[in-house]
Chains A and B, each alone.
Chain A
Amino acid sequence: MCIERYTKKTTTDLKEVQTLAYKKVAKKYSGKIKEVTIGTGDKAITLGGRNVLPLHAFDGEVGQSPKVGLEIVDEVPSDWIDAFANLYGDVQKDAATWAKYVEETYAPDFICLRFEGADPNGSNRSVEECVETAKKVSESVSLPLVIAGSKNVEKDSEIFKAIAEALEGKNILLLSAQEENYKTVGAAGALAYKQKVAAESSVDINLAKQLNILMTQLGVQKEDVVMHVGCAAAGYGYEYVSSTMDRITLAALGQNDETLQMPIITPISFETWSVKESIATEEDEPNWGSIEERGIHMEVSTAAASIASGSDAVIVRHPKSLEAIKYYLNSIIG
């Protein structure tokens, strides 16, 4: 008798704990991603500005919608699949013509001009030639420019410095300054010629933080820095990229860590177009279908995953990827 009474009481006690009415678990963060503007005039773009997790427009200020840029190269690319030659034809022979064509035909948010031709193990184009190309491209378009190098740290420092000077006033983004060359790139790019600089680190929150701190110590304003925290193609160690971005976002917003509140740019195309899925020929992989479609799916998948993890800007190669990601962004956060 006694026992029964107790049990009954207990039951109601627990029920009270369990049946909460629906209560929204709103997430308010104290931190906010800084805004960084690239380019000038009507076509200038601003990255960042959100105080919510990526795409979480319903939680608070979603800031600027992530931006999508198209990649072009300073010389006719030798390792791009044929689909691009069919798409662009002779336009690829001159970077300025190519840039103009991209601006008029596909209207990306920005153009990423990659100086593959500067590679000492490739065409080894001189700094002067690179500057010439950068100037012509800049004159032929009004979209913001992101300048990427050849992945050779020393040569990139030289061309970044020279291009930053030549394009003073254009507010370009240099992609990127690494641990080895941040002093040159940061000093020339941001301090001397008032350009924007991307700080590149290798998929690790501490490395990203450290490089941001070094840049600030150099005197570079936080508002002039964007982060490139590493990238990998979907299926190729991408989980580390995603988790690194998640952790950076949570530290920036949740812990209000000012050293990690720079917006993130991720050059998706630099990674996704060299993996087997995107380049194995149709003869080699007869089951796999269209090589062009494979490449687009790889790029779109990696880009969407990166945006969902915290990229405020992505660089893609195929215009169809640009179109799909823009549509996706417009539909989710308008």
Chain B
Amino acid sequence: MALSGIQIFKLTPRTNCKECGFPTCMAFSMKVAAGAITIDKCPHISDEATQQLAEATAPPMKTIVIGKDAAERKIGGETVLFRHEKTLVSKTLFAVQFSDTMTDEVIESKMANIIKVDYDRIQEQMSVESIVVKYDGNKDKYLVLIEKLKSLGKIFILACTDVNIAKEAIALVKDTKPILVGANKDNIDDMIALAKENNVVLGLNGDTVEDIYALVETAEKAGHKELILNPGTTEMAKTFENTIEIRRTAIVGGDRTFGYPSIVFANELSNGNQFVETALASTYILKYGSIVVLDDINYPKALALFGLRQNIFTDPQKPMRVEPKVYEFNKPKEDSPVLITVDFALTYFVVSGEIERSKAPAWLLIPDAGGLSVLTSWAAGKFGGTVIKNMIKECGIEEKLTKKRLVLPGKVAVLKGDLEEELPGWEIIVGPEEAMQLPKFLNELV
């Protein structure tokens, strides 16, 4: 929420001393409001006023940094409700939940899963970023568990509403910028004190938006503004409503009391059904979950959720493209096949991944296809016979070949006839529709 010139004027001493280079404080204030000059150019402005201005012009939602070193991540900082309005900035993080009532076997297995599900998708490392450690009544086990989970190197989220236990737990991980999801109506003051003292992010639990709002006000009044809001763990409908209300109040209503990230326990809401959990987690990727807690992680879940997240958090203003040129795979030779695809980053990474996996030597040509997928660019007239022919003629690949074989994406099989005419001397081969069939296809080709 930007301040008007008048509002800024009220922050100046209103003495018209001209030291800022402007004839009046009002003239100066108008310039500040327009963003042409910063308020510190007035030597008489009070620190308090400067800080107020900074707060008043800050984005509607705070950005909170959690975790340390390699585990460090940012959450929050959003400025819109829908990605097409501008972009969503902080991707949803995932967490897996542990508790002191779990058997060692379960704990070991979840730890192993977290380590196992860690892969690259289109130049983004995909893994669970954080772990929730929930206190369920067994203090000794709880503390031992936290100690044990340190080896994972993930962001700690301690779910514990007992202040005394939380104090001991925090002591174990306070250097890692953890989150303590522990405050509620009954313990808020003690929790704030604990969070402040250890400089940790405090999670606020409430069943209604009014409760959560009151908790935030209490925390802010006490000077603790590193917060994350938990909109509920028992009822799917109410939790969804609260999550929406909170974000909307901040972004549309401009009320910064709700300008904090959220943590949603999809695991606890989904009644033990992993597919329901995926439905909820997917919904909260779109609808304002800053951290989404899962019961466990495995590839079947991760492939879907991380893929969706990667899509939703791409910046709509920056289409993802790769450079049009000739790419080489597995040391191609003069008789290796020439594959062709488009310059849409997603397509490139899917296709290149499969050619690598095939271990077969191959050339991959990428013309300028407008940064669109195979069918989209074809439908838009940017990936047709002429474009492909020009690419081949201009890139100099022909001089390197003794055997000229061009493999088309299966989805544009219709181009075969055209290309046979346009490129005499070339054998035009229709490849499979899905890139995943490339390894088999390429190995049978040679």
Cα distance A289–B119 in the bound complex, in angstroms: 14
B327 at the A interface (CB under 8 A): no
A309 at the B interface (CB under 8 A): yes
- Choose among B252, B287, B433 the residue that contacts A308 (Cβ–Cβ < 8 A): B287
User: Knowing A10-B11, A18-B56, A327-B273 touch, does A235 contact B237 (C-beta < 8 A)?
Assistant: no
Chain A window 300-315, contacts with chain B (Cβ cutoff 8 Å), 1 for yes, 0 for no = 1111110111000000
B18 at the A interface (CB under 8 A): no
- What chain A residues lie within 8 Å of B217 (beta carbons)? 19
A165 at the B interface (CB under 8 A): no
Cα distance A97–B305 in the bound complex, in angstroms: 35
User: Knowing A301-B304, A331-B237 touch, does A3 contact B249 (C-beta < 8 A)?
Assistant: no
Specify which of A243, A287, A324 lies most central, judged by the most chain B CB atoms within 10 Å of its CB: A324
B24-61 residues at the A interface, CB under 8 angstroms: 44, 46, 48-49, 52, 55-56
Cα distance A290–B303 in the bound complex, in angstroms: 12
Q: Is the interface of A mostly helix, strand, loop or mixed?
A: helix
Cα distance A250–B81 in the bound complex, in angstroms: 12
Q: Which chain A residue shows the least CB distance to B52?
A: A14
B245 at the A interface (CB under 8 A): yes
Cα distance A27–B307 in the bound complex, in angstroms: 31
Specify which of B56, B275, B300 lies most central, judged by the most chain A CB atoms within 10 Å of its CB: B275
A294 touches B256 (CB 8 A): no
User: Knowing A239-B311, A320-B275 touch, does A289 contact B282 (C-beta < 8 A)?
Assistant: no
Size range of the chain B interface in the assembly: 35 or more
A77 CB to nearest B CB, Å = 16
- What chain A residues lie within 8 Å of B298 (beta carbons)? 289
A277 at the B interface (CB under 8 A): yes
Q: Which chain A residue shows the least CB distance to B254?
A: A20
- Choose among A27, A300, A308, A320 the residue that contacts B286 (Cβ–Cβ < 8 A): A308
B280 at the A interface (CB under 8 A): yes
Cα distance A56–B286 in the bound complex, in angstroms: 14
Specify which of B48, B49, B84, B314 lies most central, judged by the most chain A CB atoms within 10 Å of its CB: B84
A7 touches B276 (CB 8 A): no
Chain A window 22-55, contacts with chain B (Cβ cutoff 8 Å), 1 for yes, 0 for no = 1111010000000000000000000000000001
User: Knowing A304-B282, A308-B283, A324-B276 touch, does A235 contact B255 (C-beta < 8 A)?
Assistant: no
A304 touches B283 (CB 8 A): yes
- Choose among A277, A304, A325 the residue that contacts B303 (Cβ–Cβ < 8 A): A277
Cα distance A20–B11 in the bound complex, in angstroms: 20
User: Knowing A22-B213, A300-B282 touch, does A3 contact B7 (C-beta < 8 A)?
Assistant: no
A305 touches B285 (CB 8 A): yes
Size range of the chain A interface in the assembly: 35 or more
Cα distance A290–B52 in the bound complex, in angstroms: 55
- What chain B residues lie within 8 Å of A325 (beta carbons)? 279
A287 touches B49 (CB 8 A): no
User: Knowing A288-B299, A305-B286, A309-B286 touch, does A22 contact B278 (C-beta < 8 A)?
Assistant: no
B316 at the A interface (CB under 8 A): yes
Cα distance A321–B379 in the bound complex, in angstroms: 32
B245 touches A235 (CB 8 A): no
A254 CB to nearest B CB, Å = 11
A190 CB to nearest B CB, Å = 26
B84 touches A246 (CB 8 A): yes
B352 at the A interface (CB under 8 A): no
B275 touches A234 (CB 8 A): no
B236 at the A interface (CB under 8 A): yes
B383-436 residues at the A interface, CB under 8 angstroms: 433-436
Cα distance A57–B213 in the bound complex, in angstroms: 21
Cα distance A96–B213 in the bound complex, in angstroms: 56
Hey, which bits of chain B sit against chain A, CB under 8 A?
Answer: 7, 10-11, 13-15, 44, 46, 48-49, 52, 55-56, 82-84, 116, 121, 209-210, 213, 217, 236-237, 240-241, 244-245, 248-249, 252-253, 255-257, 271, 273, 275-276, 278-283, 285-287, 298-301, 303-308, 310-312, 314, 316, 346, 350, 373, 379, 433-436
Hey, which bits of chain A sit against chain B, CB under 8 A?
Answer: 2-3, 6-7, 9-11, 13-14, 17-20, 22-25, 27, 55-58, 202, 233-239, 242-243, 246-247, 250, 274-277, 279-280, 284, 287-290, 293-294, 296-298, 300-305, 307-309, 320-321, 323-325, 327-328, 331-334
**A55-B283, A236-B307, A298-B307 are known contacts; what are 17 more A-B pairs with Cβ within 8 Å?**
A7-B11, A7-B46, A13-B10, A14-B56, A236-B346, A250-B82, A279-B434, A287-B116, A297-B301, A297-B305, A300-B279, A300-B282, A300-B304, A301-B279, A302-B308, A304-B282, A308-B287
Top 10 closest pairs, chain A to chain B, by CB? A235-B307, A324-B275, A304-B279, A234-B308, A301-B304, A331-B236, A293-B300, A25-B253, A22-B213, A239-B311
Some 6 contacts from A to B, beta carbons below 8 A apart, are A11-B49, A20-B257, A235-B121, A237-B373, A294-B299, A305-B308
